[in-house]
Chains A and B, each alone.
Chain A
Amino acid sequence: MVIPGLTDHGYQLEDARDYALAACWEFLIPGKGMEVVNIGGVSFPAAADQAIRDGLRAGDDMEGILRRTRANVAQQVRQVAAPYENLLLPPAPYYSTLMTDCLENGQDLSRGATYNNYGIHGVGSANAADALAAVQQLVFNERSVRPSDLLAALDANYEGFNALRCTILEHSAKVGNDDQQVDSLLVCLFDMLAESCECYGRTARRGILRPGTGSAMYYIWMAQGHDGMQEPVVGATAEGRQAGQPFGANLAPS
């Protein structure tokens, strides 16, 4: 999975086989990568939440909501990447001596190596998939929840909507239970991220954007806010989560 994934993203097979983990779980090629493996995260819950709220108000169907989600993900990817178009790295003479590339090319690491990609994390995927699944199931398929009620409940952080919240928590499908429908929404979210990264094209450092599935600390930051962060913070979300509750970490269920 990893090695083919790396070759698909432009890594030579021999290099891909030699991958090591960056300090968390992102992949690096030792001696050959000047990669910034975590430039930021895309908040799937924010992308889905905005799409659900806008879509329900506009009378969209499920397709429409997914289209909006896709657009929101792409928008977030552009936002995360934009500041890195002007990235200026300080020279790193000592680090450079540990890099095969730098020694062979006589070039400082800050000027780049064979691989110069950026990594973007897709955060809160299970929460977002569950939120979309709740809308799909309860609003569109079963029609047991009216769009206006869901919107009102979200705006009220489910205060006074306890029955609705219980229905969502207990009756709508959740990622991680071998439910094809909701799991495919999860896949769909990651496809949106991968697509958005691909559409972004080359960065100023001649690299690509690598989509990732880790959430680092963003599963808390994007749920609760954090000093100086650019990424959108959400309130209550349609999978029954109230404002401030953290998202599931990485690929963990919501």
Chain B
Amino acid sequence: MTKGLVFDIREFAVHDGPGLRTTVFMKGCPLACMWCHNPEGQSAKPEVIQSLAGSRVTGTKYSSSDLAAILNRQAAIFEANEGGVTFSGGEPLMQADFVAEVIDLLDGIHVLLDTSGYARPADFFILLERVNLVYYDLKLIDPVVHTHYTRCDNALVLHNLDLLASSGAPFVIRVPLVPGVTDTEKNLTAIATTVHDLPGLLQVDLLLYNRQAGAKYPALGKIFQPDYDETQPVHTNVAIFEELGIEARTMDRDDVADTLERVPGLPPRTFSEALQSLRLMHAVVWLSGHYHVGLGRFDQYMWPYLKADLDSGQLDETRAFDLLAEFFISLNKDSDLYPGVQQGDNGQTITLGGVDRQGNLAVNPLTYMVLRVSRDVAMIDPKGGRLPTVFKRLSGHSWFDRSRLSIGRCA
């Protein structure tokens, strides 16, 4: 049985393919992109990371059955949230045999391969016939520039792209937008021309430059040395692709950036900002040493924001449900901090309904939405309930009547 070297397994990924996914980052990459923001993914050996938090080794060896077992435990979550597993890196094709073994052991889970395309065609084939979707990176079409920025020629990448297209597998082209390097009109036009008539192409994703790309280098004892100006604006030229009939989108999150610009420093103006503000403030209470922090009367303090957005038409109900679901998912993330016997019991309770301070019925549409999202997201970690426990608060007036205090779902 093959062993694989993994530098991270991230649960609850929402940007690494459709639905809710777990991304497995395989360690080792043949390329050395100047803008690489995961430098610990480059070396195919375990490395020591020295940071303020102390030192740790990055790179864990897994047997294919152990890794498959971890992923299979989450199968129900993937299914409920139309997600699956994404193999990323590093370059997963460098460990193609191992990844193939893992995939063969998965219980019918949707698998996405996120690759640079720089690999032996034989290795690419091994995985191509096993995955449901491919995210394929195209960085630069000019071979000289490609070699300068990645230390590898791109002939292999373009060759494998042809193999991918002729295989009939569905794929997405991903272009990292590096200012002044890959985002030039010349390069983007060349990419559009290369891919526009390929069968199987679903769309082109333009990935915004990560200005924190250099953040991890010092901890690895490496030096981040871009020869381009990181601070110049990135050109997100979607039109170049659309003119050739290619569906293209910019994978930036201006909305997230705008929200974080605002909250929690200033009062939230929208439901989305209010959720983000709550999440941050809640996390900070936790980080400042108060463990087991409940969320209080969520439907009471959140409803005014949601109502305003719905009334103004800024938000429709579907999007509101999505935001709520995202919030619930985020509460499940990195919150397994409770040291008691009930593992995963992190105290994130929500109190719903009831009466207001004057004794009037306080059940509102958000009350029901929370119950519905809680049911639909069905986020029950097999290692212990990590779902935000929802308590229905009693009300003497409604369908809560006489049921007094009933527990919706308990961790």
Contact = CB atoms under 8 A, between A and B. Distances in A.
Nearest to B294: A23
B409 to A, nearest CB: 13
Given A2-B404, A28-B294, A20 B348 contact: no
Contacts of B394: 1-2
A17 B351 contact: no
Nearest to B355: A17
A217 interface: yes
A24 B347 CA distance: 6
A37 to B, nearest CB: 10
B358 A14 contact: yes
Interface residues of B, number: 32
A248 interface: no
Interface in A49-95: 90, 92, 94-95
A17 B346 CA distance: 25
A217 B347 CA distance: 13
Interface size bracket, A side: 20 to 34
Nearest to B296: A20
A92 B290 contact: yes
Contacts of A198: none
B356 A20 contact: no
A217 B340 contact: yes
A18 B393 CA distance: 10
B354 interface: yes
Contacts of A17: 354-359
Contacts of A217: 340-342
A22 B292 CA distance: 8
B256 interface: no
A20 B89 CA distance: 44
Given A94-B285, A94-B288, A20 B294 contact: yes
A200 interface: no
B80 interface: no
B293 interface: yes
B190 to A, nearest CB: 52
Contacts of B303: none
Contact of B285 (A19, A95, A220): A95
A13 B358 CA distance: 9
B141 to A, nearest CB: 51
B405 interface: yes
B332 to A, nearest CB: 15
B130 interface: no
Given A14-B358, A23-B348, A92 B341 contact: no
Given A22-B347, A23-B347, 8 more contacts: A1-B404, A2-B404, A18-B357, A22-B349, A23-B292, A30-B296, A92-B290, A95-B290
